[in-house]
Structure formats: structure tokens, C-alpha cells
Amino acid sequence: MPESKGRFGRHGGQYIPETLMNAIIELEEAYNHYKDDPEFNKELTELLNDYAGRPSNLYFAKKMTKDLGGAKIYLKREDLNHTGSHKINNVLGQALLAKKMGKTRLIAETGAGQHGVATATAAALFGMECVVFMGKVDTERQALNVYRMKLLGADVVPVTSGTATLKDAVSECMREWTTRIDDTHYCLGSVMGPHPFPTIVRDFQAVISRESKAQVLEKEGRLPDYVLACCGGGSNAIGSFYHYIEEEGVNLIGCEAAGRGIDTFETAATINTGRIGIFHGMKSYFCQDEYGQIAPVYSISAGLDYPGIGPEHAMLHDSGRAQYVAVTDEEAVNAFEYLSKTEGIIPAIESAHAVAHAMKLAPTLPKDKIMIITISGRGDKDCAAIARYRGENINE
Amino acid sequence: MSNIAKAFENGKAFVPFITCGDPDLETTAKCVVEMQKAGAALIELGIPFSDPTAEGPVIMEASLRALEAGCTTDKVFEMVRKLRTEMGVTVPMVFMTYANVVFSYGIERFCQKASEAGIDGMILPDVPFEEKDEFDGICKNYGLDLISLIAPTSEERIAMIAKEASGFIYIVSSLGVTGVRSEITTDIPSIVASVRAASDTPCAIGFGISTPEQAQKMSQSADGVIVGSAIVKLVAQYGKDAPEHVGEYVKSMVDAIK
């Protein structure tokens, strides 16, 4: 009997071409070997602390709390990491693993460019070759990150197939990996794809909630009531949730990109508008039509503009352990501006989706409730696009 | 013995592939008739998928054209029914598509309709050995063979896959995605030998084959040769006039492996 591995409830699995199966098995074996290896973990912790700047701060947003007049709000500052987002947590782990496996070349997909920049950074640090696949549409709306990746020594390949966004970049990475396996590690950027990726990426991102739990206990002497994070594929969200999943009193809320609204076709809110399917190596929820054709999705955020969600989130949704809400472009842009003016923190437009939901939720809660919002990245990369959204051309 | 296995009983089998609905299903149906006339032993019908991750640009673009032209799974079932009942097509036919096209339709409902229409099997490139049970059991109930794929990287997995294979075994000639290649460097004879040691199921080789010379060479080590992108390219080039050209091409390939 064949064994289906890497299941999260009915989700997950390994739906990939036979050509990649041995590569995936090799990766799983290497990960199982190194994940509890003290030497590996010592190296990784040093990289995270000395190179990426961890632990990231848990910051009490005093003005925002006062202004919204409800729950006490803390921000988990992943935007302060080296390269400007949570993506570096996973990339340093995978690059180190790839190095131990004898791989000399990293390939990666990227949407907003944050994962691409993080991968290019790790490749530069480890002296590895790096090729980043990015939808052509995204290379245009995130031109600054394209330049950063090139500066770091990576090749950036604009993907023109399909909708020329994140899903097409993932497809192109899978095609590239089947072409060149021996020396290449596919450094997948989210908690998606075939097993073991959803587990590997989750474990490397779980540092977010491991830290925040200790930090909130130190500051408040108790666990938070709410944890909010934006959710596309779901890597910062699962990292933010992971160490609270067993803590029943902690409400977990993933904030999906509704684009122009979940009642329109221009949306990327997978849990809110999708249904179960099989794509990009996994069984999970996907935006698709009645025949299973993957739907073109839309969000102002290139990082959330993906028609699927990681299988562990799909399971947390099925069980009701986590809740997934939809946030529109307009709400996210308002939140982007609000956090900038209120706290002097410019969040990534992705993270602004979580801030937007907090702005709705916090005022409805009593003052003794505690909420943590993960600010997954910083918003410098988004300034030109937000200016355009507001009808202003800043000649980037 | 399944219809598919029978297709390999009369000498070397030539197996052409076509993307359904490019430029339209009428043209696809006519191409299938020409393929049979030209001596195809088994025909692969591609149901287009929006994001075909195992395909190179030729089949990927054909899939998108077909979807834009309005091709759906139900319309493909209807075309197959007509091929069987009105157009005299008797050679075995298999669907090649992606897991989500089948899963999203409902595996049971898909297999029932495929079988009723006259399909003999299915190839799902994103369903490897470890995930096949979900599909295979239902396929068997409807008399469909779920075709197993073996890749140049399969190595010690070959015996395990071959032992549970039915219909035929699809040997992927090269790393990478579908598409025309000038040279195939994989040691095909040694892969075929490993398969033969574990199973009597016939083997056909696909990925990258386009010329009669390549087909002739590949057919020496296996029971059949599969060609997709080269045919889909002809359809892209000639549009509604493609059937005649596809027929000629298939004939040249059939003759080359005789």
C-alpha cells in the first residue's frame, strides 16, 4: 500500500510529478536528520540572532491602543528583521539545510519580492547560486525588490505564463526543479507545496510565536486573547499561531486578501471564496471554477495574491481552531496609512491586512483583552504602489 | 486484459497526444480520426488545465487557448462519446490531465462519465505512487487503467511502481517538462530493464520525442513511443486545417517504428 505523507487532516500530501519524488524524499530525510541536530540548531540560532537580528521585538502600541479604545495591542515586529520581513527566518533554515545536503544552487518563487530578496541574501551569504522566479506583473509593481535581488547577485526571471503573478512563479519553479535537481534546492517560501515543505517552513517560522509567547508572558504575565496575522500561503500566520494552537483561550485570526471584495472576481481570499482541490503539490482550499480550473486572483498585495492556502491552515479552518477573515484593498490601504501616522511604523501592505482587521476588532473588545498583531514586513517596498492607489505619482 | 494492454500486442505502438479543444473540439475530433487512420495504437486526449506544471510552453499555451475557446470537461466527454458512437474510433483512448480536474469534478463522477463515454484509462502526472490509491480504486471500479509514470530519477522506486502498474507504463525520457528535445541522454534501456524485471506491463516512452529517427531509436528499447508537443505544434500552426497534417505526421512516425 502506498503511503500518503504529510497530511493535515484531509489536506496536504505530495501531489507532484514522479521526477521530483526522490528529491522530495531526500529533502525529508535530510530535514528529519538535521532538525534535532544540536550543531545544526546552534548554527541556525547564531544566524537568526547575529545576522537576521532576532529576537524581534514585541512592541506595545500605546497610541493605537488608546486611539482604538479597546483591547491592548502588541505588535510582533518581523519588519525589523534583516531584509525587512519574516521570510528570512525560513530562508536561513532552508539555505543551511541545502548547504548540508551539498546543494550549490537555490531557486525560489516570489510574489512581493520579500522571499526572493531573503533567498538572494542567504545565497550571497552562503556563496550559492540563486535564481528567483517572479511574475512579470509583480516585477513591475515591485521594481525596487527586483533591483535588490540583482544587487545581491541573483538572477531574476520574469514569468509571463498564466496571470504572470505568484502562482505562475511557483509553477515555473516546479518546472525548473524537474529540469535540474542534482545541485538545486527549491527554497519554497510559504507553508505550501508538497510534503515536507509545509512542515519545514512552519517549523522555521514557528520562532515567531515561540518568542512572542515568552515575551507576552514576561510583559503581561499571561497569554494573549487574540493573535492576528495576514495570510496568503500562510507562512507568517502559521509561525505566529503555532505555539498557541494548543492554548485554547487564544483566538487565532488569519487575515486574507479580499482584493476588491469577496463578492467580486477580483479577490484572493481562499478560505472565504475557494473550495477543496489539489494544486501545487498539496490538497487544500483553492480559488477555482466549477471544473477545477484555478481562478485568476487579485489583491493590491503581491504577497497575498495567491489562489491557495497552506494545508495546515485548511485544517485549522476545518476544525474551527483558527478563523479566517477577508480584508479589502481599501481597508488595507487605510490601515497602512493609519499605522504609519499613529505609531510611526510603515507596515508591508500584506501586514496591513492584519492591522485593518485589528482596527475593526479591537474597539469591540474590553480594555483587559490582549491582542498581538504580527507585522510580517516593512512597507518601504509598497510606497510607490500605495501612492498610485491614492492617485499620486511619485516617480519611483 | 485491458484494451490498453491489447494496443501493445501488434508490434510497436505509436501513441499520439492532443490537447482537446485547441482550436476547437471539432478539429480535435477530426485529428483523432486521422490518427486512427494513420495507425495510432492508442490515443492520449489532454483535458486542458489552467496551470499544467508538468508541461513545457507548447502544451501549456495550447491548454490556455483551449480554455479560452470554451473547452470544458463535460464538452470533452461529449466529444469522446461522439468519437465512439458516430465517428468510428475504436482504438483505446486515455485522458491525460491534472489531479484537480478529476478531483474537483468528483473522482467517482469523473470516472463514471469517462467510462460511459468510452475512455480506457487516465494519466495524471501530478499523482505519484504515494497518492494514487485515492484515484486508483475508483478507476478500477469503472474499468479504467490509471497509468503509472517512471522518471529518469525513479531509480529504486521503479520496481515498486511497476509491480502495481496497469495498462501501460509511461517512461519519462528526460528530466524537465514536456517539449521537443534535440537529444535524449537518459539511459532508457537500463530503465526498461528494471521495469521488465518487475512487471510484464508494456512500456511506452514519452517526453522530448519529435522526429521519426528519435522514435525509431526509442522503439528499440520499449513497446511504444509517445509524442505530444510535436503534434500540438502542428495544430497550433495549421488550426482547423490541422487534421490532414496530423494524419501525415502520425503516419510517418508509425512507419518509422514498424
A224's grid cell: 494573549
Q: A241 with A209: CB under 8 angstroms? A: yes
Touching check for B208 and chain A: CB below 8 Å? no
Q: Is the dihedral of CA A62, A68, A70, A74 positive or negative?
A: negative
Q: Is the dihedral of CA B94, B97, B99, B100 positive or negative?
A: negative
Q: Is B223 strand, coil or helix?
A: coil
Touching check for B175 and chain A: CB below 8 Å? yes
What residue has cell string 495504437? B41
Report percent pLDDT > 90 for chain A: 93
Say whether A87 is catalytic: yes
Q: Is the dihedral of CA B249, B251, B252, B257 positive or negative?
A: positive
A75's grid cell: 505588535
Q: Is the pTM of this model over 0.95?
A: yes
Is A3 in contact with B104 (Cβ distance < 8 A)? no
A278 interaction partners in chain B (CB closer than 8 Å) = 98-100, 103-104, 126
B143's grid cell: 474499468
Tally helices (H) and strands (E) across chain A: 16, 14
Q: Which of A240, A243, A242 is nearest to A255 (CA)?
A: A240
Spatial distance between the Cα atoms of A323 and A283, rounded to a whole number of angstroms: 19
- Chain B residues 29-88 within an 8 A CB cutoff of chain A: 49-51, 53-54, 56-57, 60, 64, 67, 72-74
Using alpha carbons only, give the angle B26, B31, B34 rounded to the nearest 5 degrees: 130
Spatial distance between the Cα atoms of A7 and A5, rounded to a whole number of angstroms: 6
pLDDT digits (tens, 9 = 90+) for A107-119: 999 988 999 999 9
Say whether A312 is catalytic: no
B88's grid cell: 468510428
A275 interaction partners in chain B (CB closer than 8 Å) = 104
A87's grid cell: 521570510
Most B CBs within 10 Å: which of A3, A284, A293, as the mutation test of the B interface? A293
pLDDT digits (tens, 9 = 90+) for A333-384: 999 999 999 999 999 999 999 999 999 999 999 999 999 999 999 999 999 8
Residue A34 scores a pLDDT above 70: yes
CA B150 to chain CA centroid, Å, is 14
A12 interaction partners in chain B (CB closer than 8 Å) = none
Of A28, A78, A85, A87, catalytic: A87
A277 vs B74, B100, B153: nearest CB? B100
Most B CBs within 10 Å: which of A4, A18, A165, as the mutation test of the B interface? A18
pLDDT digits (tens, 9 = 90+) for B98-155: 999 999 999 999 999 999 999 999 999 999 999 999 999 999 999 999 999 999 999 9
To the nearest whole Å, the CA of B128 is away from the closest chain A CA by 5
Looking at residue B73, its pLDDT comes to 98
Touching check for B103 and chain A: CB below 8 Å? yes
What residue has cell string 495550447? B62
Looking at residue B180, its pLDDT comes to 80
Q: B7 with B13: CB under 8 angstroms? A: yes
A7-8 and A275-279 strand pairing: unpaired
Contacts of A165 (CB under 8 A, 6+ apart): A111, A135, A137, A138, A297, A302, A305, A306
Q: B221 with B205: CB under 8 angstroms? A: yes
